[in-house]
Amino acid sequence: MTATVTVGEFSRLTHLSVKTLHHYHEIGLLAPVAIDASSGYRRYGTDQVETALLIRRLRELRMPLPDVRAVVEATDGLTREETLRAHLERMEQELAHTRDVVASLRELLTPGQPVVDVEYRFMPPFRAYGVRDWVEREAIGPWCEYAFAKLDGVSGGIRSTTGATYSDEFFTEDAGQVVAFLPVAPDQAPADGVELVDLPGGYFAIAVHAGPMTDFDRSYGALGSHVAEHCEVASGPIRELYVVGPGDVPDPTGYRTEICWPIRQIPALKG
Buried b (16+ CB within 10 A) or exposed e, 200-222: eebbbbbbbbebbebbbebbbeb
Q: Is residue 254 predicted with pLDDT exceeding 70?
A: yes
Average pLDDT over residues 227-255: 91
pLDDT in tens, 73-107: 887 778 788 888 888 888 887 787 777 767 767 76
Mean pLDDT, the chain, rounded, equals 89
Amino acid, res. 162: T
Strand order in the sheet with 195-199: 119-123, 202-210, 256-263, 238-244, 163-166, 175-184, 126-136, 195-199
Q: Is residue 38 predicted with pLDDT exceeding 60?
A: yes
Phi–psi pair at 122, nearest 5 degrees: -95, 130
Average pLDDT over residues 25-34: 93
**pLDDT value of position 271:** 42
Q: Angle CA(221)–CA(166)–CA(154) in degrees, nearest 5?
A: 130
Give yes or no for a contact between 182 and 158, defined as CB atoms under 8 angstroms apart.
yes
Least confident span in 131-135, 186-190, 212-216, 243-247: 212-216
Residues above pLDDT 90, as percent of the chain: 59
Q: Is residue 249 predicted with pLDDT exceeding 50?
A: yes
d(C-alpha 13, C-alpha 68), whole Å: 20
Alpha carbon dihedral 165, 171, 173, 175, in 10-degree steps, equals: 40
